[in-house]
Amino acid sequence: MDNEDLRLAVYRGFAETGRAPELPELAERFGVRPETVRGGLRVLAELRHVVLDDEDRVVMAHPFSSIPLGFAVMGTSTLWWGGCAWDSFALAHLLLDEPDVLVSTRCPGCDRAHAWVVRREAPPAGEQVAHFLVPVTRMWDDVVHTCGHQRLFCGERCVDDWLERSGNERGYVMDLATLWRLARGWYAGRLDRGYTRREPATAAAYLRDAGLRGSFWGLPSDPPDAPGAD
C-alpha cells in the first residue's frame, strides 16, 4: 500500500457509497496493519488531502464529508453530506456518473429550506447568495469551522441578520452563478491517480477566472489587466 492507493481508496469510497471507509476496512483491503493505515492517513492529512479527527477517522476529503455541515447532496441512488456550499456544488462536477445532483440546505438567517438541481452545463437559477466567513489565508486554521461557515442564504438581508445575531464580521458574499463557477473545476482530478494540489499562482488564476476579487481571496480587487490593478 502506498499513500496514493490509500488516497484513492478514501476518495472513491466516498464517491461510491457516500461515506468514508473506516480504518479497519482499509487495513483489510490492503492487507496491512491498522497502524500502517493510520500512518498513511496522517501523511495525507499533512498534505491536506484529508481531514482527520482526534481518533484519525476521516472527517473530510474535499469535496466529501463524513459529518453534516448544513448540506445534503442527493444523486441517483446515493446521498452525500455536503461539506459546505462550495463542496456541495462541486459534487455535480466531480461525480461524472451522475447526470445532476440535488443540493438542499436551510438558510442560517431565517431557517427557510432551499434546494437546487445542480448540473454541469450551467448554474442553477435563484436569488440566493453564498456567504463565506473565513478568508482564504485562514481557511485551513480550522477547516471544519471554515466549511461549516460557507453557507447559502435567502439573500443579503438574511446574511446581515445572521451576522448581527452571531456577532461575526462580514466575509465574502457571492451569487449562485459565481459559486457554481468556483465549484466547477476546483476539484477536477481528485478521483484520478496522480492528482496534485494546485500551486498558489495556479489557484489564484482559477479564483480570478471564477469572478472572485479582493483581499478575502488574496487577489487584487480589479482584474489583472485593469488600470490601477495591483
Q: What is the pLDDT along the chain (230 residues), one digit of tens a residue?
A: 899 999 999 999 999 999 999 999 999 999 999 999 999 999 999 999 999 999 999 999 999 999 999 999 999 999 999 989 999 999 999 999 999 999 999 999 999 999 999 999 999 999 999 999 999 999 999 999 999 999 999 999 999 999 999 999 999 999 999 999 999 999 999 999 999 999 999 999 999 999 999 999 999 875 544 333 32
CATH top-level class of 71-184: alpha beta
Architecture of the domain whose range is 3-61:
Orthogonal Bundle (1.10)
Q: d(Cα 59, Cα 54) in Å, to the nearest integer?
A: 10
Question: What pLDDT is attached to residue 221?
Answer: 72
Every domain of the chain and the residues it spans: 3-61, 71-184, 198-230
Half-sphere exposure of 173 (CA within 13 A, CB side): 14
Q: Three-state SS across 142-192?
A: CHHHHHHCEEEECCHHHHHHHHHHHCCCCCEEEEHHHHHHHHHCCCCCCCC
Question: What pLDDT is attached to residue 229?
Answer: 31
